[in-house]
Amino acid sequence: MVHLSHKFSTIPINFIPKQFSKHLPQQIQSQTTPPFIPFSQRQNQRSLLESQLISALNCCTSLTQIQQIHARILRKRFEQCCYVLTKLIRILTKMEIPMDTYAKLVFNQVENPNPFLCTALIRGYCLQGLVKESVFVYSEMRKKSVLPISFTFSALFKACGVVNDVDLGRQIHGQTILIGGFGFDLFVKNSLIEMYVKLGFLGCGRKVFDELPERDLISWTELIVGYVKAGDMESAGELFSELPKKDMVAWTAMVTGYAQNAKPREALEFFERMLNEGVETDEVTLVGVISACAQLGAAKYANWIRDIVENLGFSPTRCVVVGSALIDMYSKCGSVEDAYKAFKVMEEKNVFSYSSMIAGFAMHGYAYAALELFHEMVKIGIKPNKVTFIGVLTACSHSRMVEQGRQIFESMEEKFGISPGVDHYSCMVDLLGRAGCLEEALNLAETMPLEPNGGVWGALLGACRTYSNPDIAQIAANHLFELEPNAIGNYILLSNIYASAGRWNDVLMVRKMMREKGLRKNPGCSWLETKKGVIQEFFAGDMSHPRYGEMKQVLEDLLNRLKAIGYQPNMNSIAYDVSDEEKRRILITHSEKLALAFGLLDINADFPIRIMKNIRMCEDCHSFICGVSQITRRVIIVRDNLRFHHFHDGKCSCGNFW
């Protein structure tokens, strides 16, 4: 057996820093031989020395300091003391020292390691991602008949979750049953539930949960979070209602879960219940609620949550996380000005706040502002991340800034050391496609070093709609049908491209594919906030609204006035082989036009009309609303699923390029 003592035993006592040496008893600090001491007194001194060595290890901030304390451990013959060596290995793990270069050598010197020392080494390997090594240590531990403890299994379960190995996790689960004694160990069972949930085996996690004779908040919350991540808010809600005592973590899981699963109204409802129950909130809760407000896009909720944030002491001035979320919310609610105000008052700004503001400028078509902010953050030393580049490239894409986009894309790796991901290639394909460079966009999609996803091919398909290129559209659509076989939007878009080209046989072929797959088109839906703060929804072709008669009259009047200044309905916006009269009837009842008519009836002229739409706005609605802004002198803001359009005096912020 190779001993380490020769490396450290010659270190003189004056090499030990004062902050450590003061913890050692006087006789250790002295180089003289101590006098005879009775056994019981020596035992007490040894226990005291153990505590002092542990305390000294806790104070270590570098490898050199650890080695100096290790030298004292060896000089005082504690090389077999599992209690002290367990702390030594934990400190080495905390400092991310490779296990095989030090901790494993220390461990190998111990003739009879106890469960705590074995677990410290297992945990260290697990935290460094060396799962095979941790399992080997566990196997050797069992060969020596050393029984594991709760922490042994929790470390192994966490490691299985990190490397996504459910088979290994099940084997270790089996060990807890074979060894026995862990059936009622709540700590082990909670770690097991966490592993199954993380690996997507909710059924297994639920079975472990159901078999628990006793549960705590962690048991409930782990499973609730699992259902939330799986998008099963119904099961999450059922568990939450059964939870005997609901703390902030459980409430927050539900609030953020509804927000993440596109159920913003439910998220706000839960948050209000949480406030009424007097449950404390933190940054995570508030970010979830702010995200829900952003999805609704209503100024009423934006101002409401801003007041709550201020009252709870999380002002964007002081809280960078909440401030960044507010920037995103105001941007998505159509008020990039308020977003910029929140950005400006932040005392501390980081890459997330800059990225949120850049994305806000991008979605509103303020490309130059986005680029200026990007260069500002780089100048002051804040390194952009992958999200930042998505925002900047999106800004270039929405403003036809092809060369600037190319330069920024190339600088990602060359200047900032960030390898472009598939989302960045998607932005570049979108940039080239919007600019009409369809062949170049197709070539980039086919030659990119990563496997293109639906975003890449979807961007190319959308560009083919703009530039009426059914041949490239067919290539993009074929890839999309493989990647997203049930995404109805891709079929509709290809059908529209064929219809624009007059290829009605191909239109029928696509519609047949949709019927065979049982796909149904989601109706166009628009909503806006009334002057009383109520959200009104409008569906394409829906004439059931109580004020439809008034809305119809408004639209007819607008149509007559627009025709007088040269407006003509864009029949290509209807992908049906029907008469022109029928196309006109369909166009005039598009959901954004219905919402616009109601807004003109309900909202005072001093306030902008803000409309949100679930799908992309068609060309006819774009030109129609552009004309309405001219003849009514109203400011109209429309958010579709791609970007914001600010209409004023007959012009749109997108420059008719979207």
Residues of 49-72 as b/e, b for ≥16 C-beta within 10 angstroms?
Answer: bbebbbebbeebeeeebbbbbbbb
Which helix (H) or strand (E) element contains residue 526? Answer: strand 525-529
Position with higher pLDDT, 29 vs 286: 286
Residues in the chain: 658
Q: Is residue 23's pLDDT more than 70?
A: no
Q: Is residue 10's pLDDT more than 50?
A: no
Confidence at residue 61, expressed as pLDDT on a 0 to 100 scale: 85
Q: Are 456 and 429 in contact (CB under 8 A)?
A: yes
Q: Is residue 135's pLDDT more than 50?
A: yes
Q: Is residue 548's pLDDT more than 70?
A: yes
Confidence at residue 600, expressed as pLDDT on a 0 to 100 scale: 95
Query: Could you read off the pLDDT of 215-228 as tens digits, one per residue?
Result: 888 889 889 989 99
Q: Is residue 9's pLDDT more than 60?
A: no
Q: Would you place residue 78 in the very low, low, confident or very high pLDDT band (cuts 50, 70, 90)?
A: confident
Position with higher pLDDT, 262 vs 658: 262
Single-letter amino acid code for the residue at 397: S
Residues ≥6 apart with Cβ < 8 Å to 313: none
- Give the 3-state secondary structure of residue 322: helix
Confidence at residue 2, expressed as pLDDT on a 0 to 100 scale: 40
Q: Would you place residue 76 in the very low, low, confident or very high pLDDT band (cuts 50, 70, 90)?
A: confident
Position with higher pLDDT, 2 vs 597: 597
The mean pLDDT value for 562-591 works out to: 82
Residues ≥6 apart with Cβ < 8 Å to 175: 148, 153
Structure tokens at 506: 């191909």
Confidence at residue 15, expressed as pLDDT on a 0 to 100 scale: 40
Q: Are 472 and 460 in contact (CB under 8 A)?
A: yes
Closest by Cα among 27, 90, 98, 83 to 53: 83
Confidence at residue 38, expressed as pLDDT on a 0 to 100 scale: 55
Q: What percent of the chain has pLDDT above 90?
A: 43
Confidence at residue 464, expressed as pLDDT on a 0 to 100 scale: 92
Q: Are 25 and 52 in contact (CB under 8 A)?
A: yes
Position with higher pLDDT, 22 vs 492: 492
For residue 302, CA distances in Å to 49, 118, 140, 532 come to 60, 53, 59, 15
Q: Is residue 570's pLDDT more than 70?
A: yes
Q: Are 335 and 326 in contact (CB under 8 A)?
A: no
Q: Is residue 3's pLDDT more than 90?
A: no
Query: Could you read off the pLDDT of 314-358 as tens digits, one per residue?
Result: 988 889 999 999 999 999 988 899 999 999 999 999 999 999 999
pTM above 0.85, yes or no: no
Q: Would you place residue 626 in the very low, low, confident or very high pLDDT band (cuts 50, 70, 90)?
A: very high
Q: Is residue 5's pLDDT more than 60?
A: no
The mean pLDDT value for 71-100 works out to: 87
Q: Would you place residue 21 in the very low, low, confident or very high pLDDT band (cuts 50, 70, 90)?
A: very low
The mean pLDDT value for 38-60 works out to: 74
Confidence at residue 374, expressed as pLDDT on a 0 to 100 scale: 97
Confidence at residue 299, expressed as pLDDT on a 0 to 100 scale: 76
Q: Is residue 41's pLDDT more than 80?
A: no
Distance of CA 77 to the CA centre of its chain: 51
Q: Is residue 4's pLDDT more than 50?
A: no
Query: Could you read off the pLDDT of 437-464 as tens digits, one per residue?
Result: 999 999 999 999 999 999 999 999 989 9
Q: Would you place residue 12 in the very low, low, confident or very high pLDDT band (cuts 50, 70, 90)?
A: very low
Long-range own/partner contacts, residues 405-414 (CB < 8 A, 24 or more apart): 405/431, 408/374
The span from the CA of 350 to the CA of 2, in Å, is 50
If you write DSSP's letter for every residue of 372-388 in order, what string do you get? HHHHHHHHTTPPP-HHH
**From the CB of residue 320, how many other CB atoms can be counted at a distance below 10 Å?**
17
Cross-sheet strand order for the sheet of 609-613: 535-539, 525-529, 609-613, 636-639, 644-648, 651-652
- Give the 3-state secondary structure of residue 639: strand
Query: Could you read off the pLDDT of 373-397 as tens digits, one per residue?
Result: 999 999 999 999 999 999 999 999 9
Q: Would you place residue 27 in the very low, low, confident or very high pLDDT band (cuts 50, 70, 90)?
A: very low
Which helix (H) or strand (E) element contains residue 587? Answer: helix 580-588
DSSP code of residue 616: P
Confidence at residue 457, expressed as pLDDT on a 0 to 100 scale: 95
The span from the CA of 258 to the CA of 614, in Å, is 18
Q: Is residue 131's pLDDT more than 90?
A: no
The mean pLDDT value for 605-630 works out to: 90
Q: Are 465 and 436 in contact (CB under 8 A)?
A: no
Confidence at residue 14, expressed as pLDDT on a 0 to 100 scale: 42
The mean pLDDT value for 465-481 works out to: 93
Closest by Cα among 395, 460, 449 to 426: 460
Structure tokens at 177: 């049953």
Q: What percent of the chain has pLDDT above 70?
A: 92
The mean pLDDT value for 175-186 works out to: 81
Position with higher pLDDT, 262 vs 403: 403
The span from the CA of 219 to the CA of 225, in Å, is 10
Q: Which residue carries 């559209």 as its tokens?
A: 473
Structure tokens at 497: 């491209």
Q: Would you place residue 29 in the very low, low, confident or very high pLDDT band (cuts 50, 70, 90)?
A: very low
Phi-psi region of 405 (alpha: psi -120 to 50; beta: other; left: phi over 0): alpha
- Give the 3-state secondary structure of residue 410: helix
Q: Are 625 and 647 in contact (CB under 8 A)?
A: yes
If you write DSSP's letter for every residue of 134-162 in order, what string do you get? HHHHHHHHHHTTPPP-HHHHHHHHHHHHH
The mean pLDDT value for 77-93 works out to: 88
